[in-house]
Amino acid sequence: MSTELHFDRTPAMPSLLLRAAVARKSGDITAVPEISASLAKLTINPGKLRRYNEVCGFSANTDTLPATYPHIAAFSLHMEMLLHKAFPFSPMGIVHTRNRIEQRRALRADEPLSLHASISDSREVAAGLEVDIITEARSGDETVWTDLTTVLKRGKSNGGAGGRKRAPLQEFEHSEAWELDANLGRRYASVSGDYNPIHLFPASAKLLGFKRHIAHGMWSKARCLAALQPQLGSEAFAIDVDFKTPLFLPANVSLQYGESDGGIVFSLRNAQGNRPHLNGTLVRL
C-alpha cells in the first residue's frame, strides 16, 4: 500500500528537525514502503535566494536558480516521508552518502515550479541499508530538474556488497584553496533551514558524537558547482557527488579538478590534498 503526502507550502525545517529528535521507531533494517510527497508550488524568496548565493559562492543574479537551490525544498519533503509512521526507522543518524542533480535548462526564479518526491528503491549493503529518494521539479508538464538523494541507515545487514578497497587518489591539473569560517554551518542553516545541531556549534555536535561541528554536505556540493559551472559553459548538466568524510569547521580545503569527457571531474579535499570530503563529476547534458 502506497502513501501520498501533499503540501501547499514548503514544510518548515526547524519543526521537522524537532519531530526527528523525538521520533521513536524500531530502527530495524528492513525494506522501505512506497511513500511520495508533493509540493504544489515552490515559492522563491528573493532575499533568501540572494543570501544563499552569497553563502555558496554563486553570482548575485537572482533571476535564475542555482541547480542546488530546489534541493532545500526537496529536503523538507524527504524529511516528511522519513518521519511518516509508515517509514520503519528514524531519520536521525541517517547518513547522506550520494546526491545527483540534473538540470535540463536554466530555472527562472519567477516561474511556477512544483515538486514531487518519492522513495524509489532500497538495498542492503555491507554497512546497512541504502535508500534512494527521487525528486522532480516540473514547470507545467515539463520536467526541468531531478534530484537523486541516497541515504544510509547504518546497522547489521543480511547481505549486500562487501566493502570496496579505497582507490588511489586521482591527480588533477587545477586547484583552488578555500578558507572556511567556523560560522559557515550557521550561515548555511539560515538560508537552507537545516539547523541540524551537528552543523552549528562544537558543543551541539559533540552531543551527537562529533568532535566538532561539520559543514553541510549540500553546501560543499553547491560551493563546488558555483566554482565550476562557469567553466562548463552549459545550463543543461548533471552534477553527481559522493560524500566521503566529514568537513570539520573551521577548515582550509582545496578544490581539485580537471577536464573529462563531456565535462569536469573534481574532488574537495583537506588542505594537504590527501583526504577527500567529496568526489564528483559535472557533465553537460
Per-residue pLDDT tens digits for 196-255: 899 999 999 999 899 999 999 999 999 999 999 999 989 999 999 999 999 999 999 999
- Picking from 94, 78, 75, 76, the residue whose alpha carbon sits closest to that of residue 27 is 94
35-94 pLDDT, tens digit per residue, is 999 999 999 999 999 999 999 999 988 899 999 999 999 999 999 999 999 888 888 778
Residue 169 pLDDT > 80 = yes
> What residues are paired with 101 via a beta bridge?
147, 239
Mean local confidence (pLDDT), 257-263: 93
Q: What is the mean pLDDT of residues 12-19?
A: 86
Distance between CA atoms of residues 20 and 18, nearest Å: 5
Strand 276-284 with 263-270, pairing: antiparallel
Residue 179 burial (C-beta neighbours within 10 Å; 0-12, 13-18, 19+): exposed
The mean of the pLDDT values for the chain is 92
Contact 283, 236 (CB under 8 A): no
Note the pLDDT of residue 237. 98
pLDDT at 190 (0 to 100): 94
User: What is the grid cell recorded at 125?
Assistant: 549493503
Judge contact between 128 and 117, C-beta under 8 A. no
Q: Are 285 and 236 in contact (CB under 8 A)?
A: yes
Cell numbers of 135, please?
525528486
Which residues share a beta bridge with 102?
146, 238
Q: What is the pLDDT of residue 163?
A: 54
pLDDT, residue 82, reads 92
Across the range 148-159, mean pLDDT stands at 80
Q: Same topology for domains 3-154 and 174-284, yes or no? A: yes
Please tell me the predicted confidence (pLDDT) of residue 28.
Answer: 63
The phi and psi torsions of 105 (rounded to 5 degrees) equal -160, 170
The yes-or-no verdict on residue 162 having pLDDT over 80 is: no
CATH 3.10.129.10 fits 174-284, yes or no: yes
- Answer whether residue 138 shows pLDDT above 90: yes
User: What's the pLDDT score for residue 173?
Assistant: 94
Q: Return the domain boundaries, the chain.
A: 3-154, 174-284
More confident residue, 23 or 248: 248
Of residues 227 and 14, which shows the higher confidence score?
227
Q: Is the pLDDT reported for residue 30 higher than 80?
A: no
Cα–Cα distance between 72 and 261 in angstroms, integer? 30
Q: Is the pLDDT of residue 157 over 60?
A: no
* Cell numbers linked to 62: 537572482
Q: Measured between alpha carbons, how far is 44 from 110 in angstroms, rounded to an integer?
A: 7
Query: What is the structure's pLDDT at 161?
Result: 55
User: What pLDDT score was predicted for residue 61?
Assistant: 84
On whether the CB atoms of residues 254 and 269 are closer than 8 A, the answer is: yes
Q: Which pTM does this prediction carry? A: 0.93
Q: Cα–Cα distance between 43 and 73 in angstroms, integer?
A: 9
What's the pLDDT at 89? Answer: 83
Q: Mean pLDDT over residues 183-194, rounded?
A: 94
C-alpha cell at 240: 553527481
Q: Residue 218: what pLDDT?
A: 98
Cell of 139: 514547470
Which CATH architecture does the domain made up of 3-154 adopt? Roll (3.10)
Cis peptide bond N-terminal to 250, omega within 30 = yes
Q: How confident is the model at residue 26 (pLDDT cuts 50, 70, 90)?
A: low
pLDDT at 27 over 70: no
- In the predicted model, what is the mean pLDDT of residues 151-164? 67
